[in-house]
Amino acid sequence: MVHKHTVLAAGWLTCAVGAVFAMSGDARSAPQVREVSVRADQYAFAPSRIDVQKDEIVKVTFTAVDIPHSFTIDGYRISKRAAAGQTVTFEFRADRTGPFPFYCNLTKDDRCKQMHGELSVK
């Protein structure tokens, strides 16, 4: 009878240890969140360059300070608009490497067409 209890206890211990390792593996593989604040003001983005690592979740807080602006990254199919003084927050996974230009796609003012920046995913 002692033998059955020993085997049963060893089985439960093995399951518990396996569960702990499985949970710690999930915690390590969770994607990192990179928070970035981008301001559009006086026909320029600040910052004009954003560096992130592949597979990071990028949380962007975009603010149009002076007039309506947009934040567009064609390579990630992102286009967000903000009214003057408005802040928009959004997330995406940086799942592809490379340089990805971003720009303001509003066409009412030709100066908006000069607003450019770059997202670099390594």
Q: Write out pLDDT tens, residues 90-117.
A: 999 999 999 999 999 987 778 888 999 9
Q: Which two tokens stand for residue 44?
A: 């320029």
Assess contact for 47 and 117: CB atoms under 8 A.
Answer: yes
pLDDT for the residue numbered 30: 79
- Residue 28: the pLDDT is 60
**Helix or strand holding residue 118 (H, E):** strand 116-121
Confidence grade of residue 1 (pLDDT, cut at 50, 70, 90): low
Is pLDDT above 50 for 7? no
